[in-house]
Amino acid sequence: MTRRRLANGSWGDRINRNVYNLNSFCLDWLEFEGRFDMPKLKRCEIVPEKLFPFDERNKYKEGDGAIAFYCEDGEFESVWLRANRYPHMPAIVSHAGVSLTPDFSLYTDYPVATQIWNVYRTRLLGALWQSQGIDVIPSVSWGDEHSLEWCFDGLPSGGTIAISTCHVRRPDHEGFLQGFKAMLLRCNPETVLVYGRGLKGQLEQLANVRRYDSRLTQIYEQRRLPLEAIKST
């Protein structure tokens, strides 16, 4: 049995048929790919000057940069829970102009089903926002080597891709680089936005990288702490 599709309904009609917490209202007009039917994103070539933390989104003027979700998942769970409220995300992004997709966590000790679900949520929200006229830059993450089979599904070829190195510690460098190289082969991005200073120099040898200091680095530098205290953030 499949769900009954709504061919040409208004936004209100679609919301009335929405399954809470699944955001099924937008499935009829999105495109999917891969073994797990990941929603497909369109290519974006924007390279923002700044990345603004989602929880500080109201501080910035329009056109200054991109909203980023590199924080604890609970800080931005609202964008999933309120996805069916049409003005919600466009109003938030209007303070910046561009948005990255949410960076739901892919911790390697999470069940694989949870990791796949988090990639799906990331892609679905990005595709939904693009359908609402928002410029969206895909934010990409991966877990262990097994996740490389599906974690890039739905991503466009070329354009701009964003990643974070903030939680990549030295024992994990080799595995992270393996995923980074796999992402380059799959997506062939023109520019990679890197949030954080991790693996500085190594990623630059592999791709055209644009770096952004993490919020923690900015705080430490404002307090003028030694470089050794912030070099891995």
Digit-coded pLDDT (tens) for 83-102: 988 888 888 888 788 999 99
Task: Count Cβ atoms within 10 A of the Cβ of residue 85 and give its class: 0-12 exposed, 13-18 middle, 19 or more buried.
Answer: exposed
Please report which confidence band the pLDDT of residue 58 belongs to, taking 50, 70 and 90 as the band edges: confident
pLDDT at 10: 64
Q: What local confidence, expressed as pLDDT, does residue 144 receive?
A: 92
Report pLDDT for 225: 57
Between residues 232 and 90, the one the model is more confident about: 90
In the predicted structure, residue 223 carries a pLDDT above the cut 80: no
Q: What is the mean pLDDT of residues 24-46?
A: 95
Percentage above 70 pLDDT, the chain: 84
**Core vs surface per residue 100-111: b (16+ CB within 10 A) or e:** bbbbbebeeeee
Query: Residue with structure tokens 């080799």?
Result: 174
pLDDT at 30 over 70: yes
Q: What are residue 135's DSSP bridge partners? A: 98
pTM of the full structure: 0.87
Q: What is the pLDDT of residue 87?
A: 83
Residue 229 predicted with pLDDT over 60? no
Mean pLDDT score, 28-43 = 96
In one-letter notation, the amino acid at residue 57 is R
What's the pLDDT score for residue 168?
83
Residue type, position 70, single letter? Y
Average pLDDT over residues 183-209: 96
In this structure, what token pair is assigned to residue 75? 């800080």
Mean pLDDT, range 7-22, rounded to an integer = 67
Does the pLDDT value for residue 77 go beyond 90? yes
pLDDT category of residue 220 using cuts at 50, 70 and 90 = low
DSSP 230: T
Report DSSP state, residue 36. Answer: T
Which region among 26-30, 32-36, 83-87, 104-108 has the lowest average model confidence (pLDDT)? 83-87
Higher pLDDT, 9 or 86: 86
